[in-house]
Amino acid sequence: MVLFLLRRDFVRALWYIWLFSCKVILLKAETWEQTSPRANTLYDDADDIQKQLDNEARDRLKYGRPKTIWVFHLPTQFPDLNAKDVSSDYRNFNSLRQWRRENDVEILSYTPISAVSLKDWDYEGQEKWAVLYPQCGGHSQSPVDVPVDRLITTKGASPILFYNYNAVPTSLTLENNGKSVTLRGEWKNKLRPLVYGGAAHSRRYVFHSLTLHWPSEHTVGGLQYPLESQVLHISAEYRTLEEALEAYARDPQAILGIVNLYKFDNNTQKGLSVLLKTVSKMTSVRESVARNPLSYFSPPLKEYAYYQGSLTTPPCTESVMWLIRGRALSVTRDYMEMVRGLLEEFSEPEKTFHRRVQPLNDRKIFFFN
Reported as a single tens digit per residue, the pLDDT across 24-44 is 555 544 444 333 344 434 434
Q: Look at the chain and report how many structural domains it folds into.
A: 1
The answer to whether residues 330 and 265 touch, using CB atoms and an 8 Å cutoff, is yes
Model confidence at 231: pLDDT above 90 = yes
What SS3 class is residue 258? Answer: strand
> Higher-confidence residue: 287 or 12?
287
- On whether residue 62 sits in a domain, the answer given is no
Span of 6-15, 236-245, 297-306, 332-341 with lowest mean pLDDT: 6-15
Write the DSSP symbol of residue 188: B
pLDDT the model gives residue 7: 58
Q: How confident is the model at residue 96 (pLDDT cuts 50, 70, 90)?
A: very low
Reported as a single tens digit per residue, the pLDDT across 140-168 is 999 999 998 889 998 888 899 999 999 99
pLDDT the model gives residue 113: 25
Strand partners for 329 = 262
Model confidence at 70: pLDDT above 90 = no
Strand partners for 259 = 230, 324
Domain that residue 306 falls in: 75-368
- On whether residue 172 sits in a domain, the answer given is yes
Q: Which helix (H) or strand (E) holds 286?
A: strand 286-289
pTM above 0.95, yes or no: no
For residues 55-76, one letter each, b for 16 or more C-beta atoms within 10 angstroms of the residue's C-beta and e for the rest, the string is ebbeeeeeeeebebbeeeeeee
The answer to whether residues 290 and 281 touch, using CB atoms and an 8 Å cutoff, is no
Model confidence at 265: pLDDT above 60 = yes
- On whether residue 296 sits in a domain, the answer given is yes
- On whether residue 32 sits in a domain, the answer given is no
- On whether residue 217 sits in a domain, the answer given is yes
Integer Cα distance of 248 and 132 in angstroms: 18
| pLDDT, mean of residues 3-21 | 63
| pLDDT, mean of residues 77-84 | 42
Model confidence at 256: pLDDT above 90 = yes
Q: What average pLDDT does the structure give for the chain? A: 76
pLDDT the model gives residue 148: 85
> Higher-confidence residue: 43 or 330?
330
Q: How confident is the model at residue 65 (pLDDT cuts 50, 70, 90)?
A: very low
- The DSSP code sequence of 31-46 is HTTT--SSPP-HHHHH
- On whether residue 65 sits in a domain, the answer given is no
- On whether residue 63 sits in a domain, the answer given is no
**CATH code of the domain in which 114 resides:** 3.10.200.10
- On whether residue 22 sits in a domain, the answer given is no
Q: Which of 218, 197, 212, 51 is CA-nearest to residue 148?
A: 218
Nearest-5° Cα angle at 82, 79 to 88: 95
pLDDT the model gives residue 40: 38
How remote is the C-alpha of 191 from its chain's centroid?
A: 23
CB-based contacts of 167-171 (< 8 A; 24+ apart in sequence)? 167/191, 167/192, 167/193, 167/293, 167/294, 168/291, 168/292, 168/293, 169/291, 169/293, 169/294, 170/105, 170/106, 170/291, 171/288, 171/291
